[in-house]
Structure 1
Amino acid sequence: MFQVEQYTGTKPEQYQSVSKQLAALIAGEPNRIANLSNASALLNVFLDHINWVGFYLYEEDTRQLVLGPFQGLPACIRIPLGRGVCGKAAEEQQVMRIANVHDFPGHIACDAASQSEIVLPIVKDGRLIGVLDIDSPILDRFDEEDEAGLKQIVSILESAL
Structure 2
Amino acid sequence: MRNVRHPKTHRELCELACRFLRNHGFKVVFSDRFHAWTSCGEHPDALGFRNGASCLIEVKCSRSDFLADRKKVFRAEPEKGMGDWRFYLCEPGVITVDDLPAGWGLLYVINGRVRKVHGWPRNYQWVVTKAKLFRANKQAECDYLFSALRRLEIRAVTENGTDADRVQTYGL
Specify the TM-score bucket, using the shorter chain as the normaliser.
under 0.3
Q: TM-score, normalised by structure 2?
A: 0.26
Higher strand fraction: Structure 1 or Structure 2? 1
Larger radius of gyration: 2
Q: TM-score, normalised by structure 1?
A: 0.27
